[in-house]
């Protein structure tokens, strides 16, 4: 008999129990568990627990093709405050120049020092203003949309920013024609073919809009930053160094120049106030006036190279660079004021 017993079914206490098959040694030895044609039933009966069972594997591991879901960037949770957000401006005192040399009374010893020849300075109360959070967020939101367009097109309002062709924008040649005189030098400088690089990297680093607590004025400041700016072009320079009895210098014709500026900022600031006859000499009482417009340009470091002009003329170069930046700021402010006055005459005196 091939098998002593394949299986038995015993009915015990109404329960159907399956008895395990007992397999003889010689039968197991005759079964080739590696035979691909072996039936599933025989494989289940004779090859259970065998280490030579054929493993069904793929030729290469199957990778998980599901794209992992990127982490959602953390977003600022906006919660409206219950009250106004305040901004403090340190108070200022108007001490007489006669008191500047007097020591503080608190620093003297009574009975030993002259207590009549001292001053009692008090810390002035800070000026409390309210921040206009709606206006600040509006500026931020508007700039985000504008910055995306600048990064995509390297232009704004149809004007190419990288590089910015200053001559084309100015509409004249030479673009800059400057004469300056001081105790140390006098110089006549012409510059043209000016290109500015890096303007498309502009980003908004600070917005501050504050109001008086009676809400009758507005002070708005916006800081635009550039990590690095550079400019190049052509110049022609003639002048004297050392006053009337100094030596003359020249660039010997048209030469190239380049400028590198690190951590530059442009900080437009506009202040509006309601007309008060006791404060202003123009406008109708109660009208809104633009009382201040500023567009200062600042930087951490500047490097200027004028070809064919030695290092001995650094004082001239530095003086001219400061003069150029200052005059261009003033020209820009004058242009803005004239443009506003042309459109809304009553806003500016």
Chain segment 77-136, per-residue pLDDT in tens: 778 878 788 888 886 665 555 556 778 787 777 777 777 778 777 777 888 999 999 999
Residue 74 binned pLDDT confidence (cut-offs 50, 70, 90)? low
In this prediction, what percent of the chain has a pLDDT beyond 90? 36
**Residues 36/54, Cβ–Cβ less than 8 Å:** yes
Mean predicted confidence (pLDDT) in 228-246: 86
Element (H, E) at 14: none
- Is the pLDDT at 232 greater than 50? The verdict is yes
Name the more confident of 233 and 46.
233
Distance between CA atoms of 46 and 2, rounded to whole angstroms? Answer: 13
Distance between CA atoms of 118 and 107, rounded to whole angstroms? Answer: 9
pLDDT tens readout for residues 212-229: 999 999 999 999 999 999
Distance between CA atoms of 235 and 261, rounded to whole angstroms? Answer: 18
- Beta carbons within 10 angstroms of residue 206's beta carbon: 12
pTM as predicted: 0.66
Question: What are the structure tokens assigned to 78, written together?
Answer: 């906006």
Name the more confident of 280 and 187.
187
- The bridge status of strand 127-131 relative to strand 86-89 is antiparallel
Using H for helix, E for strand and C for coil, what is the string for 156-225?
Answer: ECCEECCCEEHHHHHCCCCCEEEEEECCCEEEEEEEEEEEEECHHHCEEEEEEEEECCCCCEEEEEEEEE
> Any idea which residue has 């309002």 for tokens?
157
């Amino acid at each position: 008999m091939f098998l002593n017993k394949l299986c038995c079914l015993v009915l015990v206490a109404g329960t159907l129990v399956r008895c395990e098959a007992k397999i003889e040694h010689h039968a197991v030895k005759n079964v080739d568990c590696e035979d691909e044609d072996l039936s599933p039933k025989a494989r289940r009966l004779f090859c259970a627990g065998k280490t030579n069972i054929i493993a069904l594997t793929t030729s290469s591991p199957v990778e998980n093709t599901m794209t992992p879901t990127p982490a959602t960037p953390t977003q600022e949770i906006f919660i409206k405050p219950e009250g106004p957000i305040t901004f403090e401006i340190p108070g200022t005192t108007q001490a007489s120049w006669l008191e500047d040399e007097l020591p503080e009374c608190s620093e003297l010893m009574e009975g030993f020092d002259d207590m009549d020849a001292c001053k009692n300075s008090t810390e002035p109360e800070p000026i409390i203003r309210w921040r206009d959070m709606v206006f600040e967020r509006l500026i931020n939101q508007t700039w985000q949309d504008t910055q995306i367009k600048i990064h995509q097109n390297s232009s704004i309002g149809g004007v190419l920013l990288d590089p910015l062709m200053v001559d084309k924008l100015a509409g004249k040649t030479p673009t800059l024609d400057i004469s300056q005189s001081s105790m140390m030098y006098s110089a006549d400088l012409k510059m043209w073919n000016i290109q500015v690089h890096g303007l498309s990297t502009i980003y908004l680093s600070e917005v501050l809009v504050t109001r008086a607590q009676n809400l009758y004025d507005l002070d708005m400041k916006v800081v635009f930053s550039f990590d690095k700016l550079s400019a190049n072009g052509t110049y022609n320079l003639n002048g004297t160094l050392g006053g009337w009895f100094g030596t003359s210098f020249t660039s010997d014709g048209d030469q190239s120049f380049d400028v590198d500026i690190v951590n530059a900022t442009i900080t437009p600031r506009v202040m509006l106030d309601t007309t008060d006859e006791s404060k202003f000499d123009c406008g109708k009482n109660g009208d809104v006036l633009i009382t201040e417009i500023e567009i200062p340009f600042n930087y951490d470091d500047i490097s200027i190279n004028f070809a064919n002009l030695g290092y001995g003329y650094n004082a001239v170069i530095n003086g001219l660079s400061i003069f150029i930046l200052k005059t261009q700021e003033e020209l820009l402010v004058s242009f803005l004021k004239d443009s506003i006055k042309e459109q809304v005459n009553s806003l500016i005196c």
